[in-house]
Structure 1
Amino acid sequence: MAPSHLSIDSLPNEVIIQILSSFSTRSLLPLAAVCRRFNGLVGRVHYARLVKASRLRDHEVILECYHPSEKISTPSLFCEFLGMDGLAEAAEVANLGELNSVYARFRPFIGDEDRGPRQSASMLGGAQPAVQLPSHKINLDSGELFSQLCTVTNLVKIGPRNGLFSSIANVTDTVIRVWRDWLQREAAIAAGTQQRARSISSADDPSILWTDSSKTVGLKFRVVEDESIPAPVLFGRDDEPSVSFSLEYEELLIRANWLLLSFETSEAQQVIHAGKAVVIASV
């Protein structure tokens, strides 16, 4: 009997894709380094998963953003999904480098716990309800260079009743420094006294406050200076005066790859707790 010379290279793409689909995303992506063929096939599987994750089936993104001294008084924010820029354009090539630069965009808003987050954003068959747009007040004393915002983002799966979650996956939990010079520049741009430098991509947008150096999660605000604050009579020659700004939410950005990993974590929790009446969290 002649020896078999079959190898993985002889398998059709459809069979390899079926095999690759059994791997979790964390295990799948390193396989792209095996060879050029695997790189392309991993990209196709990964693209299909990003498309599935973008539907956020039965899931919501919840944002908590507050000054360290205002944690108790600051409400959690629901986030309306706006889309994934660049995902459709990457469909034919499914290049992993391009897919890594795709961000999911959300609009934070204060939800209505009685109706539930999705119904608050868009009531089926009815008129758009009034949505209360959230904002932050940032006060800097004379000589103070920055303030801080604690930022916690979770992907949750809605439970059987409003206000209950059947799973929760943390996306980010960190502290952002909000610098005085950034506030002054963004306020000048909002007032029309300064032009914004054109950015090539979301990752290069200077108006976004990123939660980490990898630019996994970012917050985009419209900054308005409160000019009613009287200037102090006395302050040091080299000190900046006391100022106050209002930060109005525009968008929450999450790198699509990271959102997919959080989605898979949430789905895994569902499998673990299947058939158990366990409340993971509640609003």
Structure 2
Amino acid sequence: MIDRTSRGIGSLPNEILISILSLFPTRTLLPMATTSRRIHNVILSIIHRRLLAAASVADRQLILECYHPSAKFSTPYYNCEYLGTDALDGESCGIEKETCSDLGRLRGLYSHFRPAQPEGDRKIWTPRPTGGWLQATLDQVTSQKEGLVCQNVDLESYELFCQLQSVVNIVKPGPNGYFSSSTKISEGLMRVWRDWLAERSQSPLSTTSTSSESREEQKKRLLWSSVKEDIGLRLRVVERTDLRPPLLRGRDEDPNVGYTLQYEELVVRTSQLLLKLEAALERERSHEGKAIVIVS
């Protein structure tokens, strides 16, 4: 009598399936998810664990650059402290859970970081009052050594918004303060509108604890750097009073205004972070001849 019992990969126990499929990079796993419901759920579990692990790789550092286009060379980069990664529906993704029925949900997960004030003898370039550029250290140009990273924004009466260029990289620190590798996660341009600044500065939570802040209020304070919403900054806004009024001002002109943006949180799409990090590890593998795959 012929044994018609299935001997395919789908007959293997979950533990063996996970061990086999974990050897593949994420971009290769995604097309396999359409094979069957069981393979789909196993791949979903693997990718979710990778997403949770990607943002906290021990030998890497996420850095943020955020500057006005005219101040690119005088604005330092910021090391970012890892705060955590969203969980799917508030739970760890398991193979048998109904919440793990859609790969598209994983794309909506974000990792959260806190930009830290730079300090030390790291060299940057600052503009000379007489023209040109002058080399200085961070300790010489950074007056605030504690608290949140801050960025001043000034708008003339005719300006409706200012622009901030943002770039997020994941780097591998090397000797003597240099980076042995760097991978760009995403970059974009944020428009910070006058009306948004005025509204956020009047919020009672702009300078206080956010523990009682509603989710809707948190969304209002989050500015995305692109329409894809891969990276964003959650900001506090404080109005400054150190501006001199203009000598002449028309009756219908808006006043010159100045604000301080406080970088409370950097938000990065976790799937983007995972795919870029795997690509960087693959390049390193091609040089070292060793396979590297993120596993939890």
Bucket of the pairwise TM-score, normalised by the shorter protein = 0.7 to 0.9
Correspondence for 1:41 = 42
Kept in 1, the 8 Å contact 2:62–2:171? The answer is yes
Q: After superposition, what is the alpha-carbon deviation per residue over 1:113-162, rounded to whole angstroms, capped at 9, x for unaligned?
A: 569xxxxxxxxxxxxxx646421111111131110011111001122x14
Aligned to 2:282: 268
RMSD: 3.0
Amino acid at match of 1:99: L
Q: Does 1:148 align with 2:156?
A: no
From the superposition, tell whether residues 144 and 157 of structure 1 become closer, same or farther in structure 2 (CA, over 3 Å).
Answer: same
Hey, what does 1:101 align to over in structure 2?
A: 108
Q: Does 1:111 align with 2:115?
A: no
**Aligned with residue 191 of structure 2, among 152, 177, 180:** 177
The question of whether the paired residues in 2 share the 8 Å contact of 1:60 and 1:79 is answered with yes
Contact residue 105 and residue 254 of structure 1 kept, 8 A: yes
Deviates more, 1:141-150 or 1:27-36: 27-36
Sequence identity of aligned pairs in percent?
40
CA distance in 1, matches of 2:222, 2:154: 19
Instruction: Rate the CA distance shift 1:271–1:187 in 2: closer, same or farther, 3 A.
Output: same
Give, in whole Å, the separation in 2 of the partners of 1:253 and 1:66. 17
Letter of the 2:109 counterpart: V
* Alignment match, 1:69: 70
Matched position secondary structure for 1:27: helix
1:192 shift after superposition? 6.7
Deviation at 1:227, TM superposition (A): 2.8
Question: Could you tell which deviates more after superposition, 54-63 or 79-88?
Answer: 79-88
Secondary structure of the equivalent of 1:6?
coil
Count of aligned residue pairs for this structure pair: 255
SS in 1 for 2:43: helix
CA distance in 2, matches of 1:91, 1:112: 39
Report SS of the residue matched to 2:7: coil
Q: Which residue of 2 aligns with 1:120?
A: none
TM-score by length of 1: 0.78
Amino acid at match of 2:170: L
2:91 alignment partner in structure 1: 89
Corresponding position of 1:31: 32
Partner of 1:158: 173
